[in-house]
Chains A and B, each alone.
Chain A
């Protein structure tokens, strides 16, 4: 953003102020994530940078909190991680199936009452989580699914489908329906057409919606707090409990792992988005 040479001084000043503000905001957004990283390698129990760490003394760093996370006695993280992954994977599969089918129906131009149905399907994303939590809890309690994995998976499917519906509908908006008609005229049945023609084309949208659903489930705490028993504890629930009671460095080790996971997800989401745009012929 080089300024042209004829810029007046006051606009020049304004421009630098603008760059300074932007730098500050970007710093504000990203810096907090990087505080956790060094502190999780702290050899001491305190959550501040020790003198040794400031002087980059190798003795001040250790992996003890990572060891504690994995091997620590009576540590809940192993069970929590297992539960989190199981729940998130099943919730993602459920959201993808239900959400993709619904998106296919919604993007048909024959769909009746499109507006109101779309609004209903998106509603779990808009309604505050606490209200969703209360409502879903009432249902699960009646259905006898409270404190079960099934109940939490179903709850997370409710919360995850809107993302799949939105991303797949967006992918389908640039979809050329003549290719499915071509397939049909060549004798393919609808299921075959979907598997061989439609699905490969909308796959980036489906997967990126699935990623949203996965992250939503993996990060969800409000509804799980209502539904989970001791056996169904998840990583966010454990973090919530830990943060409320005492901020221990083990939590920071877990948090570092979660940041690495989210980086991985970000990279895959970005790659998918680009691939999807390339496939749909959008060049930006």
Chain B
């Protein structure tokens, strides 16, 4: 800006630049105020609760608050390979007595039992002794407690209590990856035959990947056909894509359950053409086949629509030019047409992958035992075991994965370029 512009004044005598800036600021506030209601609504009802999920997933303050004196005394416990000093026993006894009076001791026993198996028995034993007033508070508590059960004389149990001291823990995240904090604080692997979560993660990824692949190979040709056919035919065929898109997910899943059952139409057809014997009809539902078939059909429109909207913009003369310059149709397709459709491929694949990775209804209905995915596990912990902190931790692990993909999507296509129908 040169000095000349500064001299221009509005009718009120205010320099134009100042006046413009003022107007600009006013417009900014106006625009922001329009967005504000939705933004505020989402932040309160959606973004904060996701933060709340994070807090729940790392929160381990229960024991910290239950055993304040124990943990205070444990600060003086120096040699961790030996049993803790008398003060620790006394602190634990006092904390536990208070919990027993408030009927909270059961919770502590269960929580400690999760940390190390066998705690429930020995804390209950201590509870009974306290109730019968068999413990002499003036004598050495260390000796009396140690006499109750041999596990109290095992230093590993005291180490386990000490491990629960920090108010926050990443143990739920480790559990989601079939790992745990070992006695010495290092990270260890769960026994091979108990690694259920890793199988679920891999299966979720595998199903999402293959469903995306199938959707791509089926969606690309029909998107191409829709984009190149004359309008009056393509509009009609578009209904084949849009009607499933608008139809309820459960309706489509139900129709697959009918089609794929052992006496179903698909099996009837296989028997009719002689592919399988009538008495040897293959099981196509309650396994991976069912999951793949149903999910591919359900997610296919999400692949076709972005591909179509990109292909629609490619001029047919480009292919003709490629051919007239001596390329065979295959070369022209591969060198000219295909590269131009890459934005659509990116959009379609990422959209399908993101949707597939969080899928839960269809696999639960047609997938049987092998159709359990990570989302089913989250729902299971939310509703059945009520281990909400673990469900939150797994949810956030899944969310992190999806956000990474979303970020790539944003870089490649931009979120504001999403087209619907």
Q: A residues bordering B, Cβ < 8 Å?
A: 1, 11, 14, 18, 21-22, 25-26, 28-30, 32-33, 35-36, 39, 47-49, 98-99, 101-102, 104-106, 108, 110-112, 117-124, 126-139, 154-155, 157-158, 161, 163, 165-167, 169-170, 208, 212, 215, 218-219, 221-222, 225-226, 236, 239-240, 243-244, 247, 251-252, 255, 258-259, 262-263, 265-266, 269-270, 273, 284
What is the CA–CA distance of A136 and B254 in the complex, to the nearest angstrom? 27
Q: Mark B240-252, 1 if CB is under 8 A from A, else 0.
A: 1111101111111
What is the CA–CA distance of A131 and B38 in the complex, to the nearest angstrom? 20
| Partner-contacting stretch, out of B46-54, B62-70, B146-154, B195-203 | B46-54
Other contacts beyond A25-B219, A269-B421: 19, CB < 8 A: A11-B329, A25-B218, A26-B237, A33-B244, A101-B35, A108-B30, A110-B27, A121-B38, A129-B358, A129-B360, A130-B360, A134-B53, A137-B382, A154-B45, A158-B42, A158-B46, A219-B250, A222-B379, A236-B250
Evaluate contact between A135 and B53: CB separation under 8 angstroms.
yes
Cross-chain pair count, CB within 8 angstroms: 263
| Partner-contacting stretch, out of B136-144, B259-267, B271-279 | B259-267
Decide: A119 near B415, CB < 8 A? Known: A28-B297, A128-B399, A154-B45: yes
> Is B82 in the interface zone, CB < 8 Å from A?
no
> Is B420 in the interface zone, CB < 8 Å from A?
yes
Decide: A28 near B218, CB < 8 A? Known: A98-B38, A130-B395, A219-B249: yes
**Across the two chains, which residue of chain B brings its CB closest to A237?**
B250
**Across the two chains, which residue of chain A brings its CB closest to B253?**
A243
Evaluate contact between B50 and A131: CB separation under 8 angstroms.
yes
What is the CA–CA distance of A25 and B307 in the complex, to the nearest angstrom? 15
A selection of 12 A-B contacts at a CB cut-off of 8 Å is A18-B225, A26-B222, A29-B240, A102-B37, A117-B35, A119-B415, A167-B420, A221-B361, A247-B257, A247-B258, A252-B258, A273-B421
Evaluate contact between B243 and A33: CB separation under 8 angstroms.
yes
The 9 closest A-B pairs by CB, nearest first: A128-B358, A105-B34, A105-B35, A108-B31, A135-B49, A110-B27, A32-B255, A102-B38, A139-B49
Evaluate contact between B246 and A266: CB separation under 8 angstroms.
yes
Number of interface residues of B (CB under 8 A): 93
Give the residues in chain A near B35, CB-CB below 8 Å. Answer: 101-102, 105-106, 111, 117, 121
**Across the two chains, which residue of chain B brings its CB closest to A1?**
B229
> Is B368 in the interface zone, CB < 8 Å from A?
no
What is the CA–CA distance of A121 and B47 in the complex, to the nearest angstrom? 10
What is the minimal beta-carbon distance from B338 to any residue of chain A, in angstroms? 14
Give the residues in chain B near A104, CB-CB below 8 Å. Answer: 34
Checking B37, B38, B258, B364 against A35 with a beta-carbon cut-off of 8 angstroms, the contacting residue is B258
Give the residues in chain B near A48, CB-CB below 8 Å. Answer: 261, 263-264
What is the minimal beta-carbon distance from A108 to any residue of chain B, in angstroms? 4
Give the residues in chain B near A108, CB-CB below 8 Å. Answer: 27, 30-31, 34
